[in-house]
Amino acid sequence: MIKRIALSTAAVSALVAGPALATDITLGVLNDQSGVYADLSGQGSVVAAQMAVADFDAAGKGINVNIISADHQNKPDIASNIARQWYDQDGVDAILDVPTSSTALAVADVTAEFGKVFINSGAATSDLTRANCQPTTIHWTYDTAALANGTGKAVTEAGGDTWFFLTADYAFGHALERDTTAVVEASGGEVLGSVAHPFPGTDFSSFLLQAQASGAKVIGLANAGADTVNSIKQASEFGIVQGGQKLAGLLLFINNVHSLGAQTAQGLQMTTAFYWDMNDDTRAFSERFKEEMGSPPSMVQAGVYAGTLHYLKAVEAVGSDDAEAIVATMKEMKTDDPLFGEGYIRKDGRVIHDMYLMEVKSPEESTGEWDLLKEVATISGEDAFLPMEDGGCAFALAD
């Protein structure tokens, strides 16, 4: 008892003696810690958030940041229960990351209900800033529309004008198929058909044979993670590429390319918001990250870092944990960080930054285990993401 009193007295005197009243912030990293997306988000995202707090020198600026994390197992019901408990009982101010589109949509609604902040990095669906947009949602890294505008457009314009989709049968797969179809058709291509496969799946040969029989020039893989890895592996086994059809992996992460190996993945094009080997800043960050995690950061983990950094800047500017003011400030301030460069946040919550069309190097070009990609083109943020007017986000278009 005496010890506790002594401690709180010390805390109070520290507060009084400090330059300003400290702001207490609790950040919750909610993602897949054990399933298919654990490597590209998971513990690495927690580390990224911690690095952002350290780099911002939050403590020196009078902001006490506490980071907690949980595993949502890619299930929307679990995700919304954790979010509810975090906001309601654990004093969480903002939730970060949340891969898997279905869980992200659930967390976006819970966040709006509690009037907190949701900075999404891991989820793909563009619906987070379209029909299901919320004033409290910031969507940082990428979305299905940007993926379509990168890989989908490049492949169609290179002559791949007939498509067949292998689609993961949940919110993400359908959003990606929808957005890519729009881009393919706008670029003069045609979609011949699609097949929805269970998520997660193991054997894709049945679906690949259906895609082969469709005669489409391009087989679009509207899936992610291990599903994409298995689809590509098995397509090469069934001689689909040798047969003249082209594969378009619409969402590939660096971890997936590493898992496939340059031998199998070489020549594949992919769209990404971040690659570790782009400039000195990204290399320096990735080197530090790699020391902690053993692999360079994925674009999702990089997005968690950048999002946290921008959030903390807004907290400093506002000087309190007032969520509404923080979001307003985040949208007012330009974004600027070592990993994504300069950009801005649109009213609907969409972060606008450059995207990159990359190609997987051949084994001869690759000089190291993680030296896997080379840049084909930079796509400006305005071209990559869907214009706000076309998105149908009600509150952003209201005034």
Partner 1 sequence: MFELLGIPPQVLLGQLLIGLINGSFYAVLSLGLAVIFGLLNIINFAHGAQYMMGAFVAWMLLSYGGIGYWPALFLAPVIVGVIGIALERVLIARLYKLDHLYGLLLTFGLALIIQGLFRNYYGVSGLPYQIPSALQGGQNLGFMFLPNYRGWVIVASVIVCFGTWFMIEKTRLGANLRAATENPELVGAFGVNVPRMITLTYGFGVALAAFAGVLAAPIYSVNPNMGADLIIVVFAVVVIGGMGSIMGSILTGFGLGVIEGLTRVFYPEGSAVVIFVIMAIVLMIKPEGLFGKSA
User: Measured from the CB atom, is 363 or 387 closer to partner 1?
Assistant: 363
Q: Counting contacts by CB under 8 A, is residue 234 touching partner 1?
A: yes
Cβ atoms within 10 A of the Cβ of 383, count? Answer: 14
Choose which of 206, 362, 378, 380 interacts with partner 1 (CB under 8 A).
206
Q: Contact 32/107 with Cβ under 8 angstroms?
A: no
* Binding residue for partner 1, selected from 198, 215, 319, 363, defined by CB under 8 A: 198
Count of residues of this chain found to bind partner 1 when the rule CB under 8 A is applied: 41
From 20-28, 155-163, 209-217, 266-274, span contacting partner 1 (CB under 8 A): 209-217
- Per CB under 8 A, 241 contacts partner 1: no
Strand partners, 168: 197
Between 129 and 295, whose beta carbon lies closer to partner 1?
Answer: 295
Selected from 29, 30, 40, 108, the binder of partner 1 by CB under 8 A is 40
User: Does 165 interact with partner 1 (rule: CB under 8 A)?
Assistant: no
List the one residue from 57, 237, 287, 324 that touches partner 1 (CB under 8 A).
237
Q: CA 302, CA 75: separation in Å to the nearest integer? A: 23
In 115-195, which ranges are continuous DSSP H helix?
144-147, 153-157, 171-186
Order of strands across the sheet that contains 246-249: 190-197, 162-168, 218-222, 246-249
* Interacting residue with partner 1 among 105, 221, 229, 270 (CB under 8 A): 229
Rounded to a whole number of angstroms, the minimum distance from the CB of residue 227 to partner 1 is 9
Pick out residues in 166-185 that bind partner 1 (CB under 8 A).
Answer: 169
Rounded to whole angstroms, how far apart are CA atoms 359 and 365?
12
CB of 283 to partner 1, least distance (A): 22
- 8 Å CB contact between 168 and 195: no
- x/- mask, partner 1, residues 19-38, rule CB under 8 A, reads ---------------xxxxx
DSSP state of 126: G
Burial class, 374, CB count within 10 angstroms (exposed 0-12 / middle 13-18 / buried 19+): middle
| 313 secondary structure, DSSP code | H
| Window contacting partner 1 (CB under 8 A); options: 16-24, 202-210, 353-361, 366-374 | 202-210
Using the Cα atoms of residue 272, residue 274, residue 279 and residue 283 in order, give the sign of their dihedral.
negative
CA separation, residue 16 to residues 3, 11, 226, 318 (Å): 20, 9, 53, 20
Helices (H), the chain: 2-17, 42-56, 76-88, 101-114, 144-147, 153-157, 171-186, 205-214, 226-237, 254-265, 280-293, 299-318, 323-332, 381-384, 388-391, 394-398
Q: Which is nearer to partner 1, 84 or 258 (CB)?
A: 258
Give the pair of three-digit tokens for residue 331. 């949208």
Q: Is 363 in the site for partner 1 (CB under 8 A)?
A: no
Q: Which is nearer to partner 1, 80 or 255 (CB)?
A: 255
Is position 191 an interface residue for partner 1 (rule: CB under 8 A)?
no
Q: Whose Cβ is closer to partner 1: residue 19's or residue 243's?
A: 243
Cβ distance to partner 1 smaller for residue 69 or 187: 69
* Closest distance of CB 289 from partner 1, Å: 15
Which range touches partner 1 (CB under 8 A), out of 138-146, 229-237, 369-377, 390-398? 229-237
292 contributes a contact to partner 1 by CB under 8 A: no
Which of 102, 108, 121 has the alpha carbon at shortest distance from 45? 121
- The region of 21-29, 176-184, 192-200, 326-334 touching partner 1 under the rule CB under 8 A is 192-200
233 vs 275: CA distance, rounded Å: 23
105: nearest Cα among 53, 6, 153, 172: 172
Taking CB under 8 A as the criterion, which residues in 263-282 touch partner 1? 263-264
Q: How many residues does the chain have?
A: 399
| Interaction of residue 69 with partner 1, rule CB under 8 A | no
Taking CB under 8 A as the binding criterion, the range among 3-11, 81-89, 221-229, 387-395 that sits at the site for partner 1 is 221-229
Which of 14, 213, 377, 394 touches partner 1 (CB under 8 A)?
Answer: 213
User: What is the dihedral angle through the alpha carbons of 199, 137, 397, 383, rounded to the nearest 10 degrees?
Assistant: -70
Our finding on whether 243 is near partner 1 (CB under 8 A) is yes
Binding site for partner 1 (CB under 8 A): 34-40, 169, 195-198, 200-203, 205-207, 209-210, 213, 225-226, 229-230, 233-234, 237-239, 243, 255-256, 258-261, 263-264, 295
